[in-house]
Copies of this chain bind each other. A is one copy, B any other.
């Protein structure tokens, strides 16, 4: 079974990378952008025979894929 985990920055956390991308886009003429933010996603395929798939994905997201101090995550079934 497949899941997608979205990891993004918590509200208020500085994201220098998004800031730099936005600024570059502004200066090269893409001035139509009001806001740009950024995140990662992970597609995880869990073996069918295994139980509590969702719990596992949650655990992985919390412990490995995201950094709970600065990031949030959201899980989606694919």
A residues at B contact (CB < 8 Å)? 6, 18, 21, 24-25, 28, 30, 32-47, 50, 53, 56, 59-60, 64-65
Q: Is the CB of A6 within 8 A of B47?
A: no
B34 touches A46 (CB 8 A): yes
Number of copies of this chain that the complex holds? 2
Q: Does A36 contact B41, Cβ atoms closer than 8 Å? A: no
Contact among B6, B33, B38, B43 for A36, CB-based, below 8 A: B43
When distances are taken between beta carbons in the complex, the residues of chain B under 8 Å from A6 are 41
Distance A46 CA – B20 CA, assembled complex (angstroms): 17
> Across the interface, which residues of B come within 8 angstroms of A30, CB to CB?
56, 59-60, 64
Measured CB to CB, the closest approach of chain B to A14, in angstroms, equals 16
